[in-house]
Amino acid sequence: MTIHCQITEEDYIRAQYLHVRPRPVFLAAGVLMVVAALTIIVLKLFVYPSTTSQPAPYVLFAVLVYLALRFFVIMPMSAKRIYREQKTLHDPYEVEITEETIRFASRHGGSSAAWRQLHKYKVGKDFILLYPSRETFHMFPRRWFSDEQFTEFQGILARHLKRG
């Protein structure tokens, strides 16, 4: 199967979110920690206020604000900046996917890899990320594929790589 690709700024930002998405068990643990922190903040400030100044609720609140800013403001701004700086991301390219290899070709050059040379893949609702290593990935938005191609690509990945 050969697909024609061009990455948009929005693709790049959404791929970054999928990249940092934790495994379900870690996501559940994170949600529980945020709920616990919010509960402590509400209890300490509103339900059981004390006359002595306690920094714990304020520290927890500051940490939650930082995490929200990091995730919803800083990360997308950083992704936009990287996308604007890396001009090769803007150019169209082709990807040929077979049972043996995956090949990339653009006006800048090409590369290919056997499936055994790749690390893992991650699937989101509208994206697949293919990892040559732990921190680098190739992104494949669902819009590049027909429904049959998207299913076929997931099948090839499942046969050759571990899901991350």
pLDDT bucket at 24, cuts 50 / 70 / 90: low
- The partner residues of 112 in beta bridges, in order of sequence, read 103
> Phi, psi (5° rounding) for residue 55?
-80, -15
The amino acid at 69: L
pLDDT digits (tens, 9 = 90+) for 124-158: 888 899 999 888 889 999 999 988 989 899 999 99
Q: What is the pLDDT of residue 52?
A: 61
pLDDT digits (tens, 9 = 90+) for 88-129: 888 999 999 999 999 999 888 888 899 988 989 998 888 899
- State which H helix or E strand residue 163 sits in: strand 162-163
pLDDT bucket at 32, cuts 50 / 70 / 90: confident
Both tokens assigned to 10: 């929005």
pLDDT digits (tens, 9 = 90+) for 44-95: 767 666 656 677 777 878 888 888 898 899 999 999 999 999 988 889 999 9
Q: How far apart are CA 147 and CA 65, in angstroms?
A: 40
pLDDT bucket at 26, cuts 50 / 70 / 90: low
